[in-house]
Amino acid sequence: MAILQANKIYKTYGNKFNKQEVLKGIDLTVEKGEFVGIMGASGSGKTTLLNVLSSIDRVTRGTIEIEGKEFTAMKEKQLAEFRKQHLGFIFQDYNLLDTLTVKENVLLPLSITGISKKDAHRKFEQVAGELGIYELKDKYPAEISGGQKQRTSAARAFVHDPGIIFADEPTGALDSKSASDLLNKLADMNQKHQATIVMVTHDPAAASYCSRVVFIRDGQVYTQLNKGEEARQSFLGDIIKTQGVLGGVQQ
Amino acid sequence: MSLNVIILRNLKKNIKNYYLYVFALVFGVALYFSFVTLKYDPSLDVMEGTIKGGAAIGASSVLLIAIVAIFLLYANTIFIKRRSKEIGLFQLIGLTKGRIFKLLSAENLILYFGSMVLGILAGFAGSRLILMILFKILDIEVAAKLRFSIEALQQTVIVFAAIYVLIMLMNYMFIKGQSILSLFRVNSTAEERVRKMPIREIIMGVLGIAFILGGYYISTQLFGGKFVDMAELMAAMIAILALVIIGTYLFYKGSVSFVFNLIRKRKKGYLSINEVLSLSSIMFRMKSNALLLTIITTVSALAIGLLSLSYISYYSAEAQARESSPQDFGYVNPEVKEQFTAALDQAGIKYEELYIPVFYTSVDAAQVMGKTVYQKDEDKQIHTAVISDSSLGNVDVKPGETRLMGLSGALKNFMPMKETGELGFWTAEGKVPMKLNGITSEAVMPYRFGGGSGVFVVDEADYQKLVKVSYPSSQKNVPTEYYGLNLKDRGQMKQAYEIYTAQESTGDKDHALRLTSFSQYEFEINQRTSMGMIMFIVGFLGLTFLITSGCILYFKQMDEGEEEKGGYTILRKLGFTQGDLLRGIQFKQLFNFGIPLIVGLFHSYFAVKSGWFLFGTEMLTPTVIVMVLYTVLYSIFGLLSVVYYKRVIRESL
Ligand SMILES: Nc1ncnc2c1ncn2[C@@H]1O[C@H](COP(=O)(O)OP(=O)(O)OP(=O)(O)O)[C@@H](O)[C@H]1O
Ligand SMILES: [Mg+2]
């Protein structure tokens, strides 16, 4: 069953006189339980795509359905409610609240679910332990490194077991060990909890964890690769090859 | 690129940041200039007779300078903080700190003196309005003419030039003391962390509360007889002020942050959206908040206290007039009285007449006086008038007993007395014991007869006995009889008063009549005019304090709102609705505006309570009116800040 379906979406930035069309008619379907990777050159519109798919930003044209409900026409309040309940985010620029400690940041999405303090604490111990940030729990974002922020941001995305996780360069600031830990965690969420994951990345190695990789170019879907029964190593090779064809920074 | 080009570019780019600063400046200058213009206004000399209006304004303008300076310095801190990133960038591209300082100073100079011109113009227009209000309060019928005062201009320019130097000094220290890195992240470091053992906080908090309570306690004792001479009284007042202010600071720094810490720790990192927006946001800035909240609280308390006291005296004008002359008109000299009543008869004004013969004596009150300023027994003597109960008509005193009528509120506080007990009336034949049975504050004789201590009323038979043996020397050069006149229809008061004044002006030139004839109406008018002036000045200051403290808080909230905008973006991305955020913000504003208001109300209540009787006869009603009004006006700023936040939240995604 398609959990997420985007039909011919367009996104234009700027005003009448200074238009920049970033997304030009993208069609994308994500099945429930899929782990989709999105790749493309810097500035190709990946973050923009993720934003509109996750209802943070509105499309200029086109429709997006999540679980059969079209949300391009939904009210702002309903959208917010939906994000709060069902979505998890790992943002490219971390998006942690300066005023909260690491632990408070991570537990933020839980506050609306109404689970008990004890359960929340247990949940935090588990997620933070897996991502190696438990020791940092009482620190403020200004006092931790970029990679630690990224892991905190990831912990926040996992903590309420969301149905769909949107991740924008979740491994961008991580060393290879922490990166593979995080990716394993994502894969784990995907397999054990049937969480649907949409991940933007530049890193072919990270993309090789996905079951499918979508390549974006000129605001359109350039091509897709399916992992199928392939081993990760050979899938990685395919990805690198495709990336080579795709080219670098776009004009 | 030359420095000048950079300055101009900066000015243009930062115009949005500047508007708040410019507003603060224009407002401060306008306020000060209009106030000083009043001081030099010739029409104020009209009131020279009652109270030196100009001098009073001069004294209060010092206070005004202080508050305006605090206000501007505060606006400047926000301003420079907002630009800290820019300053960091300049340093990064290789400008020296000295050069950056020069840049800022030059830029500020243009801005500062530009706003000053605007402020002076606004102040000039405003002073006319203020003058009109003043004349309205004082019931003076002079057209409020406007005169541009060069002296006021000079004074304003000097004061604000001095503040400019102060601001530059502050900027200099700010730039000097910052590293590039800290300039870049000046907004994101927490001032208050969740601590494990907040023992220091506990001690601080307990000390703070103890200080405040201590200050309150001393204030209730201030005029209770503990502090005997002026020096001690002064020392006590300063102690109260210091205790309460320091206590307030410690209270915010210790108790509030302790309580917050406790709540936050108990949440174990699991915060609701309301707490995220209120609790953690406030704690994040606790250090600078504590100082600011203390300032706001002090200023609010000061404003409420001053406004209450002046309103008390204005409000009490009628009661005080009644104390000065309990009857509508009073005469000591029967001939003058005859003239007056004849004129009243002629005008067809009906009245009731009261005749009260009096004699004077010393009364030994050592048995009934509690702890007073006077400690020796020979000091506990009341020298006052004695009258018979039959003269009053509606009062009956038993033989051997006496009642003290007309003990003023102020005196009651200075020398508390028991309602009943043994008194000794000194006579030529020794001390005659009398039983005190009741004290009332309602005056029956003009102030001139008993002073503030009132008069003793005795039974008619006792009066006749006592008057025969009274010291003849005590009865010399004082009025021994009194005629009181009450109009049947007080609606004719104005008419009667005209007759009274006409008579007074044709009477003796040596003002003897003034001391021997009394008009309640006249006392009331005089009280109103003299208090009106003070009330106006104090009211002006009070409103200024209100507006500045409200503005400071509002600016602070604007600043916080800008800083936290990113946070709102994140929260909204995560799915919190605008409504969720707004509820949290309302909660936070309840604290930010509510706590200083409540503490300030308490402070001012105790301040007013300690000395209100020096100003009037009624405390509760005028104080409550002032407090309610203050709260309403103050809340407007709170509401404005919520509206501002609403916009920030709406624009955050
Ligand atoms: N809010 C915005 N207003 C105007 N233009 C924008 C906005 N956000 C993005 N853009 C433009 O849209 C284009 C795509 O941006 P986007 O952030 O989606 O790229 P990206 O693929 O995520 O790049 P990267 O890999 O570097 O993160 C860019 O050219 C960018 O300049
Ligand atoms: Mg991006």
> Which regions in chain B score pLDDT beneath 70?
1-3, 7, 11, 14-17, 42-59, 138-146, 180-198, 224-230, 370-379, 409-410, 413-414, 504-515
Q: How far does residue A50's CA lie from ligand 2's centre (Å)?
A: 9
Nearest-by-CA chain A residue for B652: A56
Residue B436 identity (one-letter amino acid): L
Residue B589 identity (one-letter amino acid): Q
Nearest-by-CA chain A residue for B279: A99
Residue-wise pLDDT tens digits, A100-146: 899 999 999 888 777 888 899 999 999 898 888 999 998 888 889 88
Taking an 8 Å cut-off on Cβ atoms, the answer to whether B267 and A103 are in contact is no
Closest CA of chain B from A56, distance in Å: 6
Closest CA of chain B from A89, distance in Å: 7
Which pLDDT value is given to residue A177?
Answer: 87
Closest Cβ–Cβ partner in B273, B567, B577 for A111: B273
Which pLDDT value is given to residue A250?
Answer: 43
Closest CA of chain B from A245, distance in Å: 35
Which pLDDT value is given to residue B604?
Answer: 92
- Nearest ligand to the CA of A19 is 1
Taking an 8 Å cut-off on Cβ atoms, the answer to whether B190 and A80 are in contact is no
Give contacts of A138 with chain B, Cβ < 8 Å: 193-194
- Name the residue of A10, A13, A168 whose CB sits within 8 Å of the most ligand 1 atoms, as the mutation to test its pocket: A13
Residue B373 per-residue DSSP state: S
Residue B378 identity (one-letter amino acid): E
Q: How many CB atoms lie within 10 A of CB A62?
A: 17
Quick check: B21 and B79 in contact, CB under 8 A? yes
The predicted complex's ipTM stands at 0.89
Closest Cβ–Cβ partner in B185, B272, B569 for A142: B185
Q: How far apart are CA B558 and CA A31, in angstroms?
A: 45
Q: How far does residue B324's CA lie from ligand 1's centre (Å)?
A: 82
Quick check: A5 and A65 in contact, CB under 8 A? yes
Work out the end-to-end distance of chain B between its first and last CA atoms, rounded to an integer number of angstroms.
37
Among B264, B270, B572, the strongest candidate for a mutation testing the A interface, having the largest count of A CBs within 10 A, is B270
Q: How far apart are CA B359 and CA B445, in angstroms?
A: 13
- Classified as helix, coil or strand, A15 is coil
Q: In 3D, which of B19, B71, B51 has the Cα closest to residue B544?
A: B71
Among A87, A93, A107, A111, the strongest candidate for a mutation testing the B interface, having the largest count of B CBs within 10 A, is A111
Give contacts of B653 with chain A, Cβ < 8 Å: 56
Q: What is the mean pLDDT of chain A?
A: 88
Taking an 8 Å cut-off on Cβ atoms, the answer to whether B573 and A101 are in contact is no
Q: Measured at the alpha carbon of residue B590, what is the angle toward residues B585 and B595, in degrees to the nearest 5?
A: 140
- Nearest ligand to the CA of A41 is 1
Residue bearing the bigger pLDDT, B610 or A36: A36
Nearest-by-CA chain B residue for A77: B577
Order of strands across the sheet with B517-519? B351-357, B481-487, B329-331, B517-519
* Banded model confidence at residue A50, pLDDT cuts 50, 70, 90: very high
Taking an 8 Å cut-off on Cβ atoms, the answer to whether B270 and A140 are in contact is no
Ligand 1 site, CB within 6 A: A 13, 20, 22, 40, 42-48, 92
Among A77, A98, A138, the strongest candidate for a mutation testing the B interface, having the largest count of B CBs within 10 A, is A98
Residue-wise pLDDT tens digits, A65-104: 888 888 877 888 888 888 888 889 998 888 899 888 999 9
Q: Say if A107 is an interface residue toward chain B (CB within 8 Å).
A: yes
Question: Where do the DSSP E strands lie in B176-325?
Answer: none
Helix, strand, coil percent content, chain B, rounded in steps of 5: 70, 10, 20
Burial label for A194, CB within 10 Å (0-12, 13-18, 19+), is: exposed
